Amino acid sequence: MATQHKIAKGVKRIIRPFAVLLAVVFAGSVPPPALAGDILFGTDSPGSFSYFAGRAICRTINRSGGDLNCQVIPATSGTHNLTNLNGGSLDLALLDSRLLHDAMTRKGRFQFLDIRYDNLGVLLPLYQSPILLVARADAGISMLSDLKGKRINIGIARTTVRDAVDLIMTAKGWAKPDFKLLEELPATLSQDTMAFCHGNIDAMVHIGVHPDSALQQLMDLCAAVPVNMADDDISRMIGENPALSPINIPAASYPGIKKPVASFGTTILLVASGSLDDDTTLAVMAILAKHQARLQNIHPALGQFSVKPADGPDIGIALHPGAAAYFASQGN
């Protein structure tokens, strides 16, 4: 018996350290749970205005003194952000109204996707993204109808530039034979702007907020001029597409522009996953409202940003319950 007791004690002495070691190894192999206050915020790629605005919002949330921790997650595709937001992998994202409307109605690049985007809730419209036609000063293009018969860049397939050009072409009833040249140049390595500056194309489309230093440089170095797109066909197209809005680019945006330039474009919306709890959403809304003036002042494109019920585009996505609760608490 004594011998068996000694053997048992020896075995315990051998096993115990291994048991402790295994417990430590196992614990180290399990990732720590995410903090309850973590917010993953989807934006476009670094260098975009979406990324800039998303970082500004995250900084505002992180400096609010609460227990929320916001982190920007950039992506090269709005569809990537939309799908991850719908699946709950992202909590918030900045998304384009046309992308959202196409996803909800299964149009465009979503027509063959068997995905229901029903786990989304809008918080606020954040800023507008105008579609601006830019022409060479010597090209004889002073209005949209002058574009016919010219050399233009339509961008490469499945890009925002190509989508915008397709909108214009469809609205005007134009086709490839109506133009002297249709180039398919990407913005990478400035291939589109180089062709513009060398006189290989007469016009191109610019998409983004204003003022834009890149567009200013194109105007200064390559005699680019913005083209007024006040046009009956464009107005009709806007009226038939709830994701689009008329947009006037202020004259003060660029030196030498003496009056506003009529354009159109989309709205960039702050959208939440339906999986984001109402209390966190309400807290985010309160933080944005408290620091609204600071956010408005970081760039003219955010100058109209306002934390209040807004007449955003009717794209078939309801207000997030947390945002609705915030507006109700403010008597709205």
Nearest to 249 by CA among 257, 238, 240: 257
**166 and 258 fall within a common domain:** yes
| 143 and 61 together in one domain | no
Is 136 in the same domain as 181? yes
Q: Are residues 69 and 116 in the same domain?
A: yes
Residue 205 belongs to some domain of the structure: yes
Residue 31 has pLDDT above 80, yes or no: no
Residue 107 in any domain: the answer is yes
Residue 20 lies in a domain: no
What pTM does this model have? 0.86
Higher pLDDT: 66 or 233? It is 233
Residues 262 and 141 occupy one common structural domain = yes
The answer to whether residue 294 sits within a structural domain is yes
8 A C-beta contact, residue 260 and residue 247: no
Q: Do residues 236 and 290 both lie within one domain?
A: no
Distance (Å, whole) CA 142 – CA 151? 15
pLDDT value at 2 more than 50? no
Residue 15 binned pLDDT confidence (cut-offs 50, 70, 90): very low
Residue 159 lies in a domain: yes
> Closest Cα partner for 237 from 128, 144, 124, 117?
144
Q: What is the pLDDT of residue 29?
A: 32
Domain boundary at 266, 300, 320, which? 266
Contact status, residue 310 vs residue 111, Cβ threshold 8 Å:
no
Residue 34 binned pLDDT confidence (cut-offs 50, 70, 90):
very low
Same domain, 89 and 135: no
Q: Are residues 145 and 189 in the same domain?
A: yes
Q: Verify that 62 and 122 share a domain, yes or no.
A: yes
Higher per-residue pLDDT: 5 or 229: 229
pLDDT of 13 higher than 80: no
For a pLDDT cut of 70, what percent of the chain falls above it? 89
Residues in the chain: 332
In tens, the pLDDT along 297-328 reads 999 999 989 998 877 788 889 999 999 999 99
- Residue 214 pLDDT: 93
Q: Which of 257, 229, 256, 258 is nearest to 244 (CA)?
A: 229
Q: What share of the chain is helix, strand, coil (3-state, %, to 5)?
A: 45, 20, 35
User: Quick one: pLDDT at residue 312?
Assistant: 74
Closest CA to 308 of 294, 278, 329: 329
Q: How many domains does the chain have?
A: 2
Residues 6+ apart with CB under 8 A from 299: 49, 52, 53, 209
**Would you say residue 73 has pLDDT above 60?**
yes
Q: Is 25 inside any structural domain? A: no
Paired residues of 158 in beta bridges = none
Query: In which band, very low, low, confident or very high, does the pLDDT at 252 lie, cut at 50, 70 and 90?
Result: confident
Does residue 5 or residue 248 have the better pLDDT?
A: 248
Among the candidates 223, 248, 266, a domain finishes at 266
| Residue 17 forms part of a structural domain | no
pLDDT in tens, 123-173: 999 999 999 999 999 999 999 999 999 999 999 998 999 999 999 999 999
pLDDT of residue 115: 84
Least confident of 11-15, 268-272, 284-288: 11-15
Q: Which of 23-27, 142-146, 188-192 has the lowest mean pLDDT?
A: 23-27
pLDDT band at 3 (very low <50, low <70, confident <90, very high): very low
Residue 46: pLDDT above 70? Answer: yes
Task: Check whether residue 53 and residue 111 sit in a common domain.
Answer: yes
Boundary residue ending a domain (243, 266, 289) = 266
Q: What is the mean pLDDT of the chain?
A: 88
State percent of the chain over pLDDT 90: 77
Residue 69 burial by Cβ neighbours in a 10 Å radius (0-12, 13-18, 19+): middle
Cβ atoms of 241 and 164 closer than 8 Å: no
Q: 212 and 119 in one domain?
A: no
Looking at the fold, whether 178 and 239 belong to one and the same domain comes out as: yes
Domain that holds residue 69: 38-127+268-329
Read off the pLDDT band of 84 (50, 70, 90): very high
The closest alpha carbon to 39, from 63, 71, 67, belongs to 71
Sequence-ordered list of residues with C-beta below 8 angstroms from that of 81, at least 6 positions apart, any chain? 42, 43, 44, 75, 90, 93, 94, 95
Mean pLDDT, residues 62-69 = 91
Read off the pLDDT band of 110 (50, 70, 90).
confident
Higher pLDDT pick, 286 / 32: 286
Residue 18 counted as domain residue = no
What CATH code is carried by the domain that includes residue 135? 3.40.190.10
